[in-house]
């Protein structure tokens, strides 16, 4: 059992080494920079996924609140005598909830790739200088 674990760890290390040395080689980076960037991206990726998760949750919450607001508005219209809005009172919550679920699902599925894409965009943009605070 320990031998299999050791072999698996060596295989992961070798694969990591190969990926580090091959993928950024086309960009002309030094070996030290490649290794540093590989481990930096590997360690930072869960944080970026968490950021994307928070974004999906915020969007879902915003969409859910919009459905509740629209339903409340329609309910007010129907109770004040605008009976023609009864159809919207019934259909809007159903369609709004379905759209919210679909958007949440899409966001959840795209989350890992969006986190990776955001990091790649950050890497290609030049660093912004820190501005001194005014005294």
Give the pLDDT score at 13: 73
Dihedral Cα 68, 69, 71, 74, nearest 10 deg: 170
Give the pLDDT confidence of 5-24 residue by residue, as tens digits.
778 877 877 777 666 665 55
Give the pLDDT score at 21: 61
- Angle in degrees, CA 74, 80, 86, rounded to 5: 40
Give the pLDDT confidence of 24-70 residue by residue, as tens digits.
555 555 666 766 777 776 677 777 788 888 888 898 999 899 999 98
* Burial grade of 132 (CB within 10 A; 0-12, 13-18, 19 or more): exposed
Task: List the one residue out of 49, 42, 53, 48 whose CA is nearest residue 13.
Answer: 42
Give the pLDDT score at 135: 45
- This prediction's pTM: 0.53
Q: Which CA distances in Å does 19 have to 23, 49, 123, 127?
A: 6, 22, 18, 25
Give the pLDDT confidence of 64-94 residue by residue, as tens digits.
999 999 889 888 888 888 888 888 888 888 9
User: Can you tell me the distance from the alpha carbon of 50 to that of 26, in angstroms, rounded to the nearest whole number?
Assistant: 30
Q: CA neighbours within 13 Å on the CB side: how many for 104?
A: 14
């Amino acid at each position: 059992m320990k031998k299999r674990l050791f072999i698996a760890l060596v295989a992961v290390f070798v694969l990591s080494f190969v990926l580090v040395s091959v993928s950024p080689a086309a960009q002309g980076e030094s070996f030290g920079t490649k290794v540093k960037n590989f481990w930096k991206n590997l360690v930072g990726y869960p944080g970026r996924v968490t950021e994307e998760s928070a974004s999906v949750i915020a969007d879902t919450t915003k969409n859910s609140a919009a459905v509740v607001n629209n339903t409340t508005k329609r309910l007010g219209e129907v109770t004040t005598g605008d009976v023609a809005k009864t159809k919207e009172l019934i259909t809007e919550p159903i369609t709004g909830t379905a759209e919210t679920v679909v958007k949440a699902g899409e966001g959840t599925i795209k989350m890992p790739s969006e986190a990776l894409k955001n990091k790649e965009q950050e890497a290609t943009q030049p660093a912004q200088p820190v501005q001194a605070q005014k005294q």
